[in-house]
Structure 1
Amino acid sequence: MKKLLTVCCCLLTLGASAQPGISEMQQAQQQLSSDFFSAFDFSLVIAGILGIIGAGRIYHNLQMGKKEFTTEVAAWFYAAIFMVLAGAFLRALFGI
C-alpha cells in the first residue's frame, strides 16, 4: 500500500512539472495589468461623463421650474459612484 501511494505521488509530480513556468505567469500578469489600467481609466472617464451629463440635466430641470427631482439626482449620482467602485472592485479582484 505504501509503495502504491509513493508511485502515485511520483506520477503527480511529473504532471505538475508540465505546467507553465514562472516567466509565463509573469508575462500574463504584465499583460493583464497593462490592459487593466486602461479599463480602470476608462471607468473613471465614464463616471466623469455621467456626472457632467447628470449635472446638466438637473440644472436644466431646476431652471425649468421642476422642484421634485431628487430621484433623478440620486440616479445620476449612484451611476457615477457605481462606475468608480466598479474600477476599484476590478483592481481588488485581480490584485493589481
Structure 2
Amino acid sequence: MKKLLAFVLLLPAAAFAQPGITEMQEARSDLTQSFFSARDLSLVVAAILGIIGALRIYHNLQMGRERFTAEVSAWFFSALFMVLLGAFLQAVFGI
C-alpha cells in the first residue's frame, strides 16, 4: 500500500521532468538577444583566422621554408570549422 501511494504521488513529478526543453529555450533567447548573431561572430573569427594564417604562411615562404603544406591545411580547416560552426548554431538554435 505504501509503495502504491508513493508511486501515485511521484507520478506527476516525472511528467514535469522533461530534460533540456527549458535550457534550450533559455539558450535560444540568450543567443538572439546578443549584439552579434552566432553566425556573424563565427564569420568574423574565421576571417581573422584566415588573415593570421595567410600572414604566417607568407612569412614562412619568405624565410625559405619549403614544407608548409601542413600549416596551410591547418589554417584553412580551422577557418572552415568556424564557418560550419556558425551554420550549425544557426540550425540548432534557429537564430
TM-score (norm 1): 0.63
- Please give the root-mean-square deviation of Cα atoms over the aligned residues, in Å: 2.6
Q: 1:70 to 1:95 in 2, by over 3 A?
A: same
For structure 2, which runs of at least 5 residues remain unmatched after alignment?
Answer: 1-11, 17-24
For structure 1, which runs of at least 5 residues remain unmatched after alignment?
Answer: 1-11, 17-24
TM-score (norm 2): 0.63
Shift of 1:75: 0.4
Alignment match, 1:58: 57
| 1:39 and 2:38 are equivalent in the alignment | yes
Higher RCO (CA 8 Å, separation ≥ 6 residues): 2
- Percent identity over the alignment? 64
How many residues are treated as equivalent by the alignment?
A: 73
Higher share of residues assigned helix: 1
Larger radius of gyration: 1
